[in-house]
Amino acid sequence: MFDEKDVILEARHVSRIFDAAGGRKLVANNDINLKFYKGKTLGLVGESGCGKSTFMRFLVSLDKPTSGEILYHGKDIMKLKGEKLRLNRQNIQMVFQDPAQSFNPKMKIRDVVCEPLLNFKRIRPSEKDATARRLLEMVELHGDFADRYMQNMSGGQRQRVGIARAIALEPEIIVMDEATSALDVSVQKTIIELITKLQREKNITIGFICHDIGLVQSFAHQIAVMYLGNIVEVLPGEDIDKGMHPYTQALLGSVFDIKMDFSKKIESIESEAPSPLDVPPGCPFCDRCDRCMDICRQVHPTLKKVGEDHEVSCHLYE
C-alpha cells in the first residue's frame, strides 16, 4: 500500500526536550520516526498533551526539535534559514484548530485567504477579489463570503476559510491540528468530505492531528498512535481494528465500535496518564497496562514490524 518512492516528508529520530523547574527535563517527543506519503493522510492520534501538536509544529517550521531531522524530498528543513526557510513555507501549510484565533479579526475574508499569495507575489493586488472568490468556491463557500469577517461566520465556515487559505499556495503538504474537534458531528462530516475531495483533486499529503480514533480511521490512510511523546504503533487506517498495542486497544475500547456494532461495551482507562516529567523508565504505558511484565518496567520497547505496513512498540510481541 505504501511505496518508499512516494515518501515526500520523513521524520528521523526527532526528539523535543524542554527544561523544567528544578533542573528536570520534559520530553515532549521521544525519538519519533514517521513517513508521509504523496497523496496520503497520516493521522496522529493520542490523548491531549501527548506531544502531537509539538511534533506537527516542526513540519511547518514553527518550532525546532532538540535533535533529529525533518527531511522534505531528502533535504533537512530544520537547517533552512532566512529566505530559503521563507520560501519553503509555500510547500507545507497548516490549518489550525480555531481559525478565529489564528487570523486577524479586522481582516476581511478576501484578505485572509489572499495574504499568502500576496506575500509570495503570486498575484497582484488587483487580482485579489477574483482569486478570493475562486478559493472560497473551491471549499464550497459562496464567493460573497469574501466581504465578511471571521466573527460573522459559523465554526464550519471559518474552518473552510482556513482550508482555503492553506491550499491557496498549492502546497504539497497540509498539516491539520485538531481541525474538526470544535465542530458539531454533522459539520465534522462535511469538513472531512471536503478535505478528502481536495486531496483527491490536488494529490495533497495530509498530516491530521486528532484525539478521536474513530473519526481519523474513517479517512486516514495511515495512523500513528502517540503516548507520552512516544509512537507506540503505526498501521494502515483500514486496519485500525487490528491494533495490537494495549494503548491502541484501550483507545478503541473507549469509543463506539468503528463498525457500528452497538452491542460492544464501551470501556475506559481508569487511571490517569503520568506526568510528562515523571515518565516510567521502561514502557511509558506500563503503569496503566493490565498486561505489564517485569521487562516492561525496565526496558523501553522499540517499534518492531509485525505485519505489512504495521509496527508496534510493545514487549508482548517480541
pLDDT tens digits along 129-187:
999 999 999 999 999 999 999 999 988 899 999 999 999 999 999 999 887 766 777 77
Assign residue 79 the CATH number of its domain.
Answer: 3.40.50.300
Q: What is the pLDDT of residue 191?
A: 87
Task: Tell me, yes or no, whether 148 and 284 share the same domain.
Answer: no
Is the overall model pTM greater than 0.75, yes or no?
Answer: yes
Task: Tell me, yes or no, whether 123 and 37 share the same domain.
Answer: no
Residue carrying the nine cell digits 521502561: 282
Among the candidates 170, 199, 224, a domain finishes at 170
Task: Tell me, yes or no, whether 235 and 129 share the same domain.
Answer: no
Task: Tell me, yes or no, whether 142 and 193 share the same domain.
Answer: no
Q: What is the pLDDT of residue 1?
A: 72
**Closest by CA position to 228, among listed 177, 283, 271:** 283
Q: How confident is the model at residue 225 (pLDDT cuts 50, 70, 90)?
A: very high
Residue range 56-79, pLDDT digits in tens: 999 999 999 999 999 999 999 999
Mean pLDDT of 2-27: 93
Task: Tell me, yes or no, whether 120 and 48 share the same domain.
Answer: no
List beta partners, residue 69. 12
Residue carrying the nine cell digits 485572509: 112
Taking the C-alpha atoms of residue 138 and residue 255, their distance in angstroms, rounded to an integer, is 33
Task: Tell me, yes or no, whether 86 and 103 share the same domain.
Answer: no
| Total of domains in the chain | 2
Task: Tell me, yes or no, whether 48 and 193 share the same domain.
Answer: yes
Question: CB of 102 within 8 A of CB of 162?
Answer: yes
Among the candidates 170, 192, 213, a domain finishes at 170
Residue range 274-307, pLDDT digits in tens: 888 888 889 999 989 989 999 999 999 999 999 9
Statement: residue 261 has pLDDT above 60 = no
Q: Burial, 165: exposed, middle or buried (Cβ in 10 Å; 0-12, 13-18, 19+)?
A: buried
Backbone torsions φ then ψ of 63, nearest 5 degrees: -155, 165
Task: Tell me, yes or no, whether 228 and 119 share the same domain.
Answer: no
Task: Tell me, yes or no, whether 310 and 191 share the same domain.
Answer: yes
Q: How confident is the model at residue 318 (pLDDT cuts 50, 70, 90)?
A: confident
Helix locations, the chain, DSSP H: 52-59, 82-88, 99-102, 109-119, 128-138, 155-167, 185-202, 213-216, 246-253
| Average pLDDT over all residues of the chain | 90
Question: CB of 41 within 8 A of CB of 222?
Answer: yes
Taking the C-alpha atoms of residue 116 and residue 126, their distance in angstroms, rounded to an integer, is 15
